[in-house]
Amino acid sequence: MPNFTTSDGLSLHYSDDGEGLPVLCLAGLTRDGRDFDFVAPHLTGVRLIRLDYRGRGQSDWGDPSTYQIPIEGRDAVELLNHLKIDKVAILGTSRGGLIAMVMAATVKDRLLGVALNDIGPEIAPEGIEFIKNYLGRLPALSSHAEVAEARERAMTGFEDVPKSRWLEEAERLFHETDDGLALTYDAKLREAVLDGGAQPAPDLWPLFDALAGLPLACIRGANSDLLAPETYVEMKKRRPDMIAVEVPGRGHIPFLDEPESLDALRRWLDMLRA
C-alpha cells in the first residue's frame, strides 16, 4: 500500500486511483480515506487521492501536539509534492474542509477548487459537544453489530439509512479484536482537540474568504448540528456563485452518495473542467 514520509518523519498512508482531474479527499476528524468509499464509485474522470491523516487509519501515530489542522495541511501539501502534482481540487469533509480553507489562505496556488462537506467557518457548539462525548473513547460495546445499532439510535437527524450502512460505518470507526473493540485512530487525538478547544475560537471567516476565485461547493446536511443554518446562509451571501445544496434526512455528515450531494459534486467538477 502506498505511503510517503513527512518532513517530520512520519509514514502516512494514501490511495491514488483513477485518471483525470486530481481530487484530494480529506476526511473528518477521526476518519480516514475510507470516508469516501460511498462516493468514489460515482466520481468518474477523476484521479481520486485519499489521505489518512497522521494518527488515523493506516498512517503512523505521532506526537499528539502535531494533530493540528495547519500541520495536517502541511502533510497534504507534502503528499502533493510526493506525487508531483502542482494543483489539486479538494473534497473536504468536516475537518477536511477546515484544512482546505487553511490551504486556501496559505498555498492557494496549489488549489483548483474546493468542495466542503457539512463544514463552514463557524462550528455550532452543540456539534462540538457531541464530538467531545465520543472522541478518543471506546464504547461499552463488543462488536461492530452492536456499534451499528447504537449509532443508528444516536445519530439524530438521519432518516432512511439502511442498517447495512450503519454497519459499514461501524467497521470504519473500530477494529474488532479478541479483546473487544479498538479505535481506528490514536486516542490521544482527544487531548489534542480538547487542548485546542480550551482556547478562544479564532475568527475563521478570513479563511473562508480566502477561497475567493476558486470554484466552490458546499453540501450541508439539512439536520446538521455542526454547520448551522445561519452560517450556511452567510456563506452563500459571501459567495453567491457557490454551488450550495442541503441534503434532506441527513445530519453531520452526509455520506455524499445522496442524489443531492452527487448533483452538487458533478456540477462542481464541471466547473473545474470548464
Indicate the domain borders of the chain: 3-127+202-273
Span of 102-116, 132-146, 225-239 with lowest mean pLDDT: 132-146
Q: Which of 43-52, 188-197, 236-245, 259-268 has the lowest mean pLDDT?
A: 188-197
Q: In what order do the strands lie in the sheet with 88-93?
A: 3-5, 11-17, 46-51, 21-26, 88-93, 111-117, 216-221, 243-247
> What's the average model confidence in pLDDT over 163-170?
95
Of 75, 92, 102, 80, the closest CA to residue 35 belongs to 92
Question: Beta-carbon neighbour count of residue 101 at 10 Å?
Answer: 26
In sequence order, what DSSP letters do the residues of 189-226 get, joined into one string? HHHHHHHHHTSPPP--HHHHHTTTTS-EEEEEETT-SS
- Residue 66's identity, in one-letter code, is T
Q: What pLDDT sits at residue 201?
A: 64
The rounded distance, in Å, linking the Cα atoms of 147 and 170 is 6
Per-residue pLDDT of 176-231, as tens digits, reads 998 889 999 999 999 988 887 545 568 999 999 999 999 999 999 999 999 999 99
**Domain 3-127+202-273 falls in which CATH fold?**
Rossmann fold (3.40.50)
pLDDT at 200: 53
pLDDT higher than 90, residue 130? no
The band of 1, judged by pLDDT with boundaries at 50, 70 and 90, is: low
Query: Over the stretch 30-80, which tens digit does the pLDDT of each residue have?
Result: 999 999 999 999 999 999 999 999 999 999 999 999 999 999 999 999 999
For 120-126, what is the mean pLDDT? 93
pTM to 2 decimals? 0.96
Question: According to the model, what pLDDT value does residue 195 have?
Answer: 81
Q: What percent of the chain has pLDDT over 70?
A: 98
pLDDT for 128: 86
The pLDDT tens digits of the residues spanning 79-95 come to 999 999 999 999 999 99
Considering the chain, what is the average pLDDT of its residues? 95
Could you tell me if 120 and 205 are in contact, meaning their C-beta atoms sit under 8 angstroms apart?
no
- How far, in Å, CA of 180 to CA of 69, rounded? 31
- Checking if the pLDDT of 132 tops 90, the result is no
What is the arithmetic mean of pLDDT over 234-253? 98
